[in-house]
């Protein structure tokens, strides 16, 4: 039975941001909490086996350690261009993909990484449906988000640069193998050879099949081949969530009258209700402003500062969240050799953390 990704994603957000909603049981998976408030996506009926760790005993030996490897990859007959070094990289990519729906506890540094990984995953699911951006702009952002999806996991440098997009397909660049084909063959191999690997695999053939379907749905979501994910609505968040779920609407609003977008931000700040999910949605909206507006024209930040000039406290909140909740803005400022000291009207609102990071 296939689990619907949107349903699992809703449960993921519900648990992660303590929304207090009753989880929707999505056979054959269910979330279970650990004592430290982290959570794993378990296979129903298994108290130990999760979507992430079912294949933990199948990790290839590291060919970089010990004597020169003499073995072949398990899927060498299917992909004859594959070597044992590639096999290890693809295993790590599979592990990274399958941890997308895991929920961890964090310190301040790892919390930023976690936000950026999952923000990037969500944005990759949106890009193909956008009509407001040119194809080249969408390709730029797709590469940008995929880089951060891996970078903030984190992965090794070799794994970070192992893949690229070819059209809509993610491929292992060195071998030209499509990730979707490799991950499909990986699961099919162990379904067929389950008797041989019985001591390492503690789930059934149909459960491996379910894991395969979910893994493939995750990769297709990243590739933009699946229906886009949406953030669920919550009372008082309607305007913010609507713009998160519809980037085209945000861009049309901004093009028509920039103040309309800034008013959505102001109205959020004027509403003193607080919750982890509300804060997450506001952070996501601000990073959308960074990713889809400032990324292509950093000078637009002057319009934000001018519009918030009469409410300097709110201006400071917005500016500092933009610059310190994630490092997306730092990455493309470096790419475009933008010096923040050329924008004293922005720097004057920096708090201590932003000053330490940027000045």
| Half-sphere exposure of residue 278: CA atoms within 13 angstroms, side-chain side | 14
Token duo for residue 306: 């001018």
Is there a contact between 50 and 43 (Cβ–Cβ < 8 Å)?
Answer: yes
Question: pLDDT digits over 161-171, tens only?
Answer: 999 999 999 99
Q: Provide mean pLDDT across the span 102-121.
A: 91
76 exposure class (CB count in 10 Å sphere: 0-12, 13-18, 19+):
middle
Checking if the pLDDT of 208 tops 80, the result is: yes
- In 135-199, at which residue ranges do the beta strands (DSSP E only) sit? 163-166, 169-172, 177-178
pLDDT of residue 151: 96
Give residue 346's pLDDT band: very low, low, confident or very high (50, 70, 90): very high
Distance of CA 134 to the CA centre of its chain: 22
The whole-angstrom separation of Cα 346 and Cα 315 is 9
For the chain, percent of residues with pLDDT exceeding 70 = 97
Phi-psi region of 167 (alpha: psi -120 to 50; beta: other; left: phi over 0): left
Q: Provide mean pLDDT across the span 118-132.
A: 96
The whole-angstrom separation of Cα 232 and Cα 88 is 37
pTM: 0.96
**Domain map of the chain by residue range?**
5-223, 238-358
Checking if the pLDDT of 15 tops 60, the result is: yes
pLDDT of residue 233: 96
* Beta bridge mates, 29: 26, 43
- DSSP-based helix, strand, coil % in the chain, nearest 5: 55, 5, 35
Question: pLDDT digits over 19-71, tens only?
Answer: 999 887 678 999 999 988 899 999 988 888 999 999 999 999 888 776 666 68
The whole-angstrom separation of Cα 41 and Cα 50 is 5
- Distances, alpha carbon 328 to alpha carbons 172, 224, 321, in Å: 25, 21, 12
For the chain, percent of residues with pLDDT exceeding 90 = 88
The whole-angstrom separation of Cα 313 and Cα 133 is 33
Least confident residue range of 11-25, 87-101, 126-140, 257-271? 11-25
pLDDT of residue 66: 67
Question: pLDDT digits over 274-325, tens only?
Answer: 999 999 999 999 999 999 999 999 999 999 999 999 999 999 999 999 999 9
Give residue 2's pLDDT band: very low, low, confident or very high (50, 70, 90): low
Phi, psi of 42 (to 5 degrees): -95, 155
Least confident residue range of 61-65, 209-213, 332-336? 61-65
pLDDT of residue 312: 97
Q: In what order do the strands lie in the sheet with 163-166?
A: 163-166, 169-172, 177-178
Question: pLDDT digits over 93-103, tens only?
Answer: 999 999 999 99
Average pLDDT, the chain: 94
Checking if the pLDDT of 191 tops 90, the result is: yes
């Amino acid at each position: 039975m296939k689990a619907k990704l949107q349903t699992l994603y809703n449960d993921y957000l519900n648990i992660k941001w303590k929304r207090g909603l009753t989880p929707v049981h999505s056979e054959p998976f269910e979330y279970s909490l650990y004592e430290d408030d982290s959570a794993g996506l378990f296979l129903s009926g298994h108290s130990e086996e999760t979507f992430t760790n079912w294949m933990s005993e199948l990790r290839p030996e590291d060919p970089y350690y010990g004597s020169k490897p003499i073995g072949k990859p398990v899927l060498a007959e299917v992909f004859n261009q594959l070597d044992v070094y590639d096999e290890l990289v693809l295993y790590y990519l599979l592990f990274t993909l399958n941890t997308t729906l895991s929920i961890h506890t964090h310190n301040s540094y790892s919390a930023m990484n976690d936000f950026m990984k999952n923000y990037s995953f969500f944005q990759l699911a949106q890009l193909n449906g956008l009509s407001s951006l040119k194809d080249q702009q969408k390709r730029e952002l797709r590469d940008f988000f995929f880089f951060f999806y891996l970078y903030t996991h984190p992965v090794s440098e070799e794994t970070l640069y192992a893949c690229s997009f070819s059209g809509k397909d993610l491929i292992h660049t060195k071998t030209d193998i499509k990730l979707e084909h490799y991950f499909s063959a990986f699961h099919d191999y162990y379904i067929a050879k389950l008797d041989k690997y019985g001591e390492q695999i503690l789930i059934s053939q149909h459960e491996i099949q379910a894991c395969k379907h979910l893994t493939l749905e995750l990769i297709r979501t990243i590739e933009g081949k699946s229906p886009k994910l949406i953030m669920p609505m919550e009372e008082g968040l309607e305007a913010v969530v609507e713009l998160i779920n519809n980037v085209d609407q945000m861009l049309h609003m901004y093009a028509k009258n920039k103040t309309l977008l800034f008013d959505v931000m102001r109205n959020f700040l004027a509403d003193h209700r607080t919750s982890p999910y509300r804060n997450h949605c506001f952070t996501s909206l601000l990073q959308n402003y960074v990713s889809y507006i400032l990324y292509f024209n950093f000078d637009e930040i002057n319009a934000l500062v001018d519009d918030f000039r009469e409410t300097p406290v709110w201006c400071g909140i917005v500016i500092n969240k933009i610059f310190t909740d994630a490092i997306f803005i730092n990455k493309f400022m470096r790419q475009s050799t933008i010096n923040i000291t050329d924008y004293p009207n922005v720097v004057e609102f920096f708090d201590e953390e932003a000053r330490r990071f940027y000045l």
